[in-house]
Amino acid sequence: MNEQDTPTTSQQASSAQVSSAIDTKLTFADVYKNSIDNPSHFWAEQAKRIYWHKEPEQILDDSNLPFTQWFVGGETNLCYNCVDRHLEDLAEQDAFIWLSSEINQELMETYPNVEQAFSDLGNNVEFYTDYTKRRLTYNDLYKEVNYFADVLQRHGIGKGDRVIIYMPMILEAAYAMLACTRIGAIHSVVFGGFAAHNLAIRMDDAEAKMLITVDAGLRGGKVINYKNLVNQGVEQAIHKPNHVLVVSRGILPFEAQPIDVDYATERRISCQANAIVDPVWLESNEPSYLLYTSGTTGTPKGVQRDTGGHAVALTTSIDYIYDGKAGETFWTISDIGWAAGHSYTIYAPLLAGMSSVMYEGLPHRPNPGIWWRIVEANKVNILFTAPTGVRMLKKQDETWMTRYDVSSIKSFFLAGEPLDDSTANWLSKHLGVPILDHYWQTESGWPILCHTPKFDHKPHKKGSPGYPMYGYNAHIINEETGEPCAAGEKGLLAISAPLPPGCLTTVWQNDKRFVSSYFNLFNGKEYSTSDYAVADEDGYFYILGRTDDVINVAGHRIGTQEIEEAISTHPEMIECAVVGIHDELKGELPIAFCVIKDHSLTESTESRFRLEQQVIGAVVKSLGGIARPAAVYFPQALPKTRSGKILRRAIRALAENKPTGDMSTLDNPPAIDAVKQSMKDY
């Protein structure tokens, strides 16, 4: 069957439902000034965009910076705002359009149990030659989220409990997230590409009471055995969950463990009982979720998001930044394991009454036209992804893009890594719509820098992700003195406290780390993004790269120290350094320099190859394929400072064949040649 879809947005939300009486004729400069000069007034207006069970008593409490509280005393519920609130006007509009190019008609022979599993889960899917699809109205979503919440409650999950979600891009992952927020449980989604070790660290740090997973996922046709990884993770974790709730997709048979609970069986019970679970009203500052992100140490940080501020910030951003409207279709091509997936696949489009596309699949499978076919079939209006996916398509036959009617697209946003001109030009040539680079972080949860097509048309400058968004008092400061940098002068991109609503409120169970990681500059009132930047005369910012040892692979942040720790588990290892080098497709790739006990092992090609594979294997086992080193070198020494710090900056320069810069702090000059030699040996 070949799909000829028509748009499903039969009903438009009443504008009063998703936006307040905000004057959109304002210039962006007015909006920005108001947000900085009078944040309480500005955000009080924006707060009208969501439903409050109890109105906030105080809009901003900045009496204990850098800890900021927004909408103090207000009570709301994220899930209620995403789902229940739309039942009156949008019940039959699609909330999600789920598509999987990993599962299609032809694969039904390979996976004979998949069809039954869909039906056991109440998933009314349509199979096509190239993908499987399910449209889910707000009404359907309401039912499914209530069943899921009921299953959680019946298994002892309640307000404040932590729940790890380790799932691919399937609808049940969205239900799980929304069900958690409905009952006040705190979810922590772990990216499916991470390995058992990552999972165990997060289970321990969050002290999770439940873990939700699947039997398996599919990526590029390859089966990923989630259940097995979960079993290993649970075994490694010190704090073990009481239950593992398994959504079986019928892809891979598995042996149930004593703590396993089958979701389809439990859902049936809730469905038969027509279970409805009342939303739990949370004080605005109570946490909605944790999302772990890499830092400079080996232990990831649990970025903690609040409830009311998060809902207000995301709803406002759909209007002011993305210029999205209820009834339109938003497609963020990202995994739910990342902040973009949280904010712009799940929460923001639903908060705004839009239809959100959720896609399981790669950009070029079954062919490089798949994105554009999905756009055509579902009349997607706003797209958002990381440049890497686009670069992948750019390498393919260009005509794929012209085979489909993509005229529904009004803008295409990119973030997560620098957007190069050639990728931006390629998209703009073919789509003829604004290609908008924007900059944000897991911590901010929504854009810090952007261009704002909704307001007066400030020109779009290539190479710049834009200017500071309303609410962000962002500026570039001298790293040493804290003084503001002049136009054209490189410095640290910092944001003065208070951070606007929606940004992280702390690091989970670690206020000290929140302060030391983000607010350790000068007066403790400047949030450090850990990015270098420069601004031009017109106030447009340009990102110049990280200030720390964090690298960005295909838009995903990875701490080099995490990789080094994985490599150090190899019995031959004395020490190692991992640096990121430029890569055309993925932006950056990690490469490892390892000093081993018996250097003679690198003399024969076979034993060096074996060692290299072992090092790569240790990283993949511990951190997953995303952190796989692109190359492993074995120098006899690493360059160090007199205080014993490895000079990664110099190693990176050598790896990229660039000048090493100031080497006055170098303690062991021969190490430079050792590093060079190791790359020659390769």
Binding site for ligand AMP (CB under 6 A): 293, 339, 415-418, 437-439, 441-442, 465, 529, 531, 543, 546, 552, 556-557
Rounded Cα distance, 649 and 592, in Å: 13
Q: Which is nearer to ligand AMP, 61 or 531 (CB)?
A: 531
Tokens representing 405? Answer: 């009617």
Q: Shortest gap between Cβ of 557 and ligand AMP (angstroms)?
A: 3
Q: Which of 400, 401, 478 is nearest to 433 (CA)?
A: 401
The DSSP call for residue 297 is S
Q: Which is nearer to ligand AMP, 14 or 516 (CB)?
A: 516
Q: Shortest gap between Cβ of 439 and ligand AMP (angstroms)?
A: 4
Q: Which is nearer to ligand AMP, 149 or 340 (CB)?
A: 340
Tokens representing 304? Answer: 């903690």
Q: Work out the number of other CB atoms within 10 angstroms of the CB of residue 655.
A: 19
Q: Work out the number of other CB atoms within 10 angstroms of the CB of residue 482.
A: 14
Q: Shortest gap between Cβ of 626 and ligand AMP (angstroms)?
A: 11
41: enclosing H helix or E strand: helix 39-46
Q: Shortest gap between Cβ of 552 and ligand AMP (angstroms)?
A: 5
Task: List phi, psi (to 5°) of 474.
Answer: -95, 140
Q: Which is nearer to ligand AMP, 134 or 451 (CB)?
A: 451
Q: Which is nearer to ligand AMP, 305 or 438 (CB)?
A: 438
Judged on CB neighbours under 10 Å (0-12, 13-18, 19+), 443 is buried
**Residues facing residue 543 across a β-bridge:** 533
Q: Cis peptide before 66, with omega less than 30 degrees from 0? A: yes
Q: Which is nearer to ligand AMP, 34 or 510 (CB)?
A: 510
Q: Which is nearer to ligand AMP, 76 or 452 (CB)?
A: 452
Tokens representing 12? Answer: 């438009």
Contacts of 38 (CB under 8 A, 6+ apart): none
Task: List phi, psi (to 5°) of 465.
Answer: -80, 10
Q: Shortest gap between Cβ of 292 and ligand AMP (angstroms)?
A: 11
Q: Shortest gap between Cβ of 501 and ligand AMP (angstroms)?
A: 18
Q: Which is nearer to ligand AMP, 587 or 635 (CB)?
A: 587
Q: Shortest gap between Cβ of 554 and ligand AMP (angstroms)?
A: 10
- The 10 Å CB-count burial string (b at 16+, else e) for 367-386 is ebbbbbbbbbbbbbbbbbbb
Cβ atoms of 111 and 103 within 8 Å: the answer is yes
Tokens representing 635? Answer: 């120098």
Q: Shortest gap between Cβ of 417 and ligand AMP (angstroms)?
A: 5
Q: Shortest gap between Cβ of 447 and ligand AMP (angstroms)?
A: 9
Dihedral sign of CA atoms 614, 615, 618, 620 in order: negative
Rounded Cα distance, 556 and 553, in Å: 5
Q: Which is nearer to ligand AMP, 465 or 502 (CB)?
A: 465
Tokens representing 16? Answer: 């009063």
Cβ atoms of 145 and 175 within 8 Å: the answer is yes
Q: Shortest gap between Cβ of 387 and ligand AMP (angstroms)?
A: 8
Tokens representing 578? Answer: 């991992």
Q: Shortest gap between Cβ of 449 and ligand AMP (angstroms)?
A: 7
Rounded Cα distance, 354 and 319, in Å: 11
Q: Which is nearer to ligand AMP, 546 or 628 (CB)?
A: 546
Q: Which is nearer to ligand AMP, 248 or 464 (CB)?
A: 464
Rounded Cα distance, 580 and 149, in Å: 42
CB-hemisphere CA count at 13 Å for 7? 21
Q: Which is nearer to ligand AMP, 39 or 466 (CB)?
A: 466
Q: Shortest gap between Cβ of 587 and ligand AMP (angstroms)?
A: 9
Computed on alpha carbons and rounded to an integer, the radius of gyration of the chain in Å comes to 25
